[in-house]
A and B are shown apart, each in its own frame.
Chain A
Amino acid sequence: MTFVEKYRVKSFSDVKGQDFAIEKLRFFFKSFSGDGKKALILYGPAGTGKTSLAHALSKEVNAEIMEINSSDLRNADQIDKVVRPASEQRSLFNTNKVILVDEVDGIATRDRGGLSALLDIIKTSSVPIIMTANDIWDKKFAQLRQVSEVVPVKQLNYKTIFYLLKDIVIKEKLNVDDESLLRVAIKCNGDVRAGLNDLDVIKEEGEVKALSLNLLNRDEKKDIFTILKEVFKNRFSNDIIRIFDKTDMSLDEILLWLEENIPYEYKDEELWRAFDALSKADVFKGRIIRRQYWRFLVYQNFFLSAGVSAAKLKPKFGFTSYKKPSRILKTWIINQKNAKRKSVVLKYCAFNHISYRKANRDFSMIVNVFKLPEVQKELKFSPEEIKYVSSFGSS
């Protein structure tokens, strides 16, 4: 069994980073009636879990999934079979079934008739309809968007994917080092399915490490070292703003490499100017994320290349051994150690009319209280959680 199959999402609790979509799905299903919208479109990039979300919903509400594909849409008999039985009981809205139309944008481009058939079904259906699509903003989908709840499914960032893959590595007791895993996570560019497939490939081989680098394009590592050298050492040139075109590495990963290595190359004033450029690049990145205004990418790129390069007062010579970005990995390791803390604090704030953020900040002050057996019983701590809180400080 491949990891994609084995770790397919089984319930909402397996889904990472899609709280908004889950909330929308739950609400859509719960409030489904003749008056409201009868269909919901999940749209987002490939491998973000749109189909899985639909399946997880059906599990949670205990409804059967009826999948319709493009040929079904042309087949009146088939549609009757799916839609009719439900429609017969007019007053009772049928919520033990959900109709799933996967990749609706694909259907509609191949088959114009399919789209109008689908619109008819939505009009008459008394069963909730969930559709998935990569892109739903084409003009020809205007009507479909009008009759449906349109819900974005977010692209996951590489950290989330790294943690997700790491869990699997631990569960499967795979011998995959964190560095390779991080590269897989970054490389798959938000596509969890691709990430899982890559993991499948590298776990099959004995020589995991060598292969993982192979898989991820042997030249890339050389690329980034050359690029760092050019940015950090060479005299400033106007071509520098195109330097990142030489690699497939994403701007996010390049930023991590720069961040890690600036202090090994630049000191004092140069250090400050380089980090100021990084800081400005990050501001534009934040603005892109928040406003989806992708033109800001120009500035992000500019500050990372020209900004960092122009930070030096004079060209550098000699050899510097550049280091791999380590922050994401360190973050993961420390968070792993503190995972119990989060579950302890969450249990506490569920009882206590206090936000997780506040409770977490007071942790060192209340940890003594967590050591009391009667409190542990009241908050239903697990044996591991008890062990975790007892490991703290003096008593």
Chain B
Amino acid sequence: MSKSNIWTEKYRPSNFDEVVGQEEVVRRVKGMTDSMNIPHLLFAGPAGIGKSTLALIVVKQLFGDTWRDNYLELNASDERGIDVIRQKVKDFARTKALASVPFKVIFLDEADALTVDAQHALRRTMENYSNTCRFVLSCNYSTKVIDPIQSRCALFRFTLLDKKDVTKIIRRIALSEGLEIDEDALEIIADASEGDARRTVNILQSTASISPKITKELIDTVVSSAKPSDVKIVLENALSGDFISARTKLLEVMLNGGFSGQDIIKGIQRELWNLPIEPEIKVRLTEKTGDIEFRLIEGSDPFIQLESLLASFVIAGKGKVM
């Protein structure tokens, strides 16, 4: 257990036995780690279920106290492009490992955020440094990782935690922190967590920061404040024909929520299905949304693309589709 006051860190498992769920994955990764040699690894699965944690456990087991010197953590979505990543890898891989293990470990989070071209560049980097480095890549969808990389890695699929596992995490923390939590509240957190351990722990600490007595009502206030439901208002404005209000609201939502154009498109695509419009129009609008998502990736200014999508909603509001 780490000394941090932030529970996601404090209760992050530090060895294989503490990991909740993912039994099969943990068993196989532990086996490899015990042999003091690992291949490149590819961890696939949704957010908050232990991919980074397992990578950390692996390096702690391999290197003991010197793990920090032999471990580089990178994030594909935060680094500015593949060139910066390659440079950092180069920098890190130049020196030999300081431990009995003959390689260092590089963890690249959200590898599927890289474009296909960037992934090919990454593949070459992996080859160049395969003598001195092992890569652990994590991604949400393994299909978004190019085949040549997949074939160089041992692939592990992580699954969402089931309710039993989430409950186990909640009980463990409640016990250690002296929280009072009834069955109803436990149930609600387990539901709101959507199988995501980080989310579970965040909800729990957010609620506990208000009161150690955790109730259903308290959880509701924490969870409801975190929904990007404003996308719906934007779409409703557009459907009612008020394009200018829709785009003004959209800009506010994006900037205040820190959402990227792609986040918003995802939100629209989901929200679209619940809108009070004809099924046929829904289908056409979804197609349009996909088309705009594609243009957004090709283009330079996400907001222009989103405005053009809002214009489609304006027309749909009149019962027409372009």
Q: Which residues of B contact A338 (CB under 8 A)?
A: 255-256, 258
Of all chain A residues, the one with the shortest Cβ separation from B259 is A361
Query: Is A362 a contact partner of B226 (Cβ separation < 8 A)?
Result: yes
Tell me whether A276 and B80 are in contact in the complex, defined as CB-CB below 8 angstroms, given that A331-B255, A352-B9, A361-B258 are known contacts: no
Q: What residues of A have a CB within 8 angstroms of the CB of B222 in the complex?
A: 365, 368
Q: Is B102's CB within 8 Å of the partner chain A?
A: no
Q: A282-B305, A338-B256 are in contact. Are A272 and B314 (CB under 8 A)?
A: yes
Contact residue among A280, A353, A365 (Cβ-Cβ distance under 8 Å from B199): A365
Measured in the bound complex, the distance between the Cα atoms of B298 and A282 in whole Å is: 9
Q: Contacting A279 at CB < 8 Å: which of B90, B91, B260, B299?
A: B299
- Pairwise interchain contact A268-B226, C-beta atoms closer than 8 A: no
A395 contact set on B, CB distance < 8 A: 209-210
Q: In whole angstroms, what is the CA distance A365 to B199 when docked?
A: 9
Specify which chain B residues have a CB less than 8 angstroms from the CB of A355 in the assembled complex. Answer: 75, 77-78, 109-110
Interface contact A263-B256, CB-CB below 8 Å: no
* B interface, size bucket: 35 or more
**Chain A residue contacts of B243, Cβ below 8 A:** 263, 271
Interface residue? B116 (CB, 8 A): no
> Interface code B246-279, partner A: CB below 8 Å = 1, 0 otherwise?
0100011001111110010000000000000000
Collect the chain A residues with CB atoms within 8 Å of residue B318's CB: 268
Assess the A27–B87 pair: CB atoms within 8 A.
Answer: yes
Query: Which residues on B sit within 8 Å (CB–CB) of A374?
Result: 5
B78–A356 CB distance below 8 A? yes
* A269 and B301 alpha carbons, distance in the complex (Å): 22
Judge whether A66 is part of the interface by a CB distance below 8 angstroms.
Answer: no
B256 to chain A, nearest CB (A): 7
Which residues of B are found within 8 Å of A268, using beta-carbon distances?
241, 314-315, 318
Given A352-B8, A358-B47; A369-B205 close (CB under 8 Å)? yes
Distance in angstroms from A24 CB to nearest chain B CB is 7
Confirm or deny: A183 has a beta carbon within 8 angstroms of a beta carbon on chain B. Answer: no
B206 contacts chain A at the CB level, 8 A cutoff: yes
Contacts of B292 in A (CB 8 A): 279
Is B308 part of the contact surface with A, judged by Cβ < 8 Å?
yes
**Contact: B256 with A272, CB < 8 Å?**
no
Q: Would A334 and B252 count as touching, CB distance under 8 A?
A: yes
Cβ 8 A contact of B308, one of A276, A341, A354, A360: A276
Residues of B within 8 A of A12 (CB): none
Tell me whether B81 is interfacial, beta carbon within 8 Å: yes
Contact between A363 and B258 (Cβ–Cβ < 8 Å)? yes
How far does the Cβ of B190 sit from chain A's closest Cβ, in whole Å? 16
For residue B290, give the distance in angstroms from its CB to the closest CB of chain A: 14
On whether A283 and B209 interact (CB within 8 A), knowing A269-B322, A351-B9, A357-B78, the answer reads: no
A171 at the interface (CB under 8 A from B): no
B98 contacts chain A at the CB level, 8 A cutoff? no
Partner of B84, one of A19, A287, A330, A353: A19
Bound-state CA distance A324–B4 (Å) is 50
B53 nearest CB neighbor, chain A only: A353
* CB <8 Å contact, B77 and A372: no
Q: Tell me if A335 counts as interface (CB < 8 A to partner B).
A: yes
- Contact of B295 with A283 in the complex, beta carbons under 8 Å: yes
Complex Cα distance, B288 from A276, in Å, reads 11
Instruction: List the A side residues contacting B52 at CB < 8 Å.
Output: 353-354
A352 and B258 in contact, given A19-B84, A263-B244, A272-B311 (Cβ under 8 angstroms): no
Judge if B237 is at the interface, Cβ distance under 8 Å.
no
Inter-chain contact B80/A20, CB cutoff 8 Å: yes
A280, A341, A371: the one contacting B258 at CB < 8 Å is A341
Question: Would you give the 0/1 interface string for A119-151, flagging 1 where the beta carbon is closer than 8 Å to chain B?
Answer: 000000000000000000000000000000000
B308 touches A275 (CB 8 A): yes
Q: Judging by beta carbons under 8 Å apart, are B206 and A282 in contact?
A: no
Scan A29-57; emit 1 where CB is below 8 A from any B CB, else 0: 01100000000000000000000000000
Instruction: List chain B residues, Cβ under 8 A from A30.
Output: 91
Query: Beta-carbon contacts of B280-322 to A below 8 Å, as 1s and 0s?
Result: 0000000000001001001111011101101110110010101
At the interface, yes or no: B202 with Cβ under 8 Å from chain A? yes
Chain B residue contacts of A363, Cβ below 8 A: 258
A1 within 8 A of B: no
Kindly identify which residue among A273, A278, A330, A351 contacts B6, using a CB–CB cutoff of 8 Å. A351
From A31, A335, A378, B5 is in contact (CB under 8 Å) with A378
Cβ-based interface call for B203 (8 A): yes
- Nearest first, the 10 closest Cβ-Cβ pairs linking A and B are A279-B308, A368-B206, A275-B308, A286-B300, A286-B299, A272-B311, A334-B255, A365-B226, A282-B299, A360-B258
24 contacts between A and B (CB under 8 A): A20-B81, A23-B87, A24-B87, A27-B87, A31-B94, A271-B314, A272-B312, A273-B322, A278-B307, A279-B305, A282-B300, A283-B295, A285-B300, A289-B300, A341-B258, A355-B109, A357-B260, A361-B258, A365-B206, A365-B223, A369-B6, A369-B7, A372-B5, A395-B209
Q: Which residues of B contact A (CB under 8 A)?
A: 4-9, 12, 47, 52-53, 56, 73, 75, 77-78, 80-81, 83-84, 87-88, 90-91, 94, 109-110, 198-199, 202-203, 205-207, 209-210, 221-223, 225-226, 241, 243-244, 247, 251-252, 255-260, 263, 292, 295, 298-301, 303-305, 307-308, 310-312, 314-315, 318, 320, 322
Further 10 A-B residue pairs, CB within 8 A, beyond A20-B80, A355-B110: A20-B81, A272-B315, A274-B311, A286-B299, A357-B260, A358-B47, A366-B206, A372-B5, A375-B5, A378-B5
Q: CB within 8 Å of B: which residues of A?
A: 19-20, 23-24, 27, 30-31, 255, 259, 263, 268-269, 271-276, 278-280, 282-283, 285-287, 289, 327, 330-331, 334-335, 338, 341, 348, 351-358, 360-369, 371-372, 374-375, 377-379, 393-395
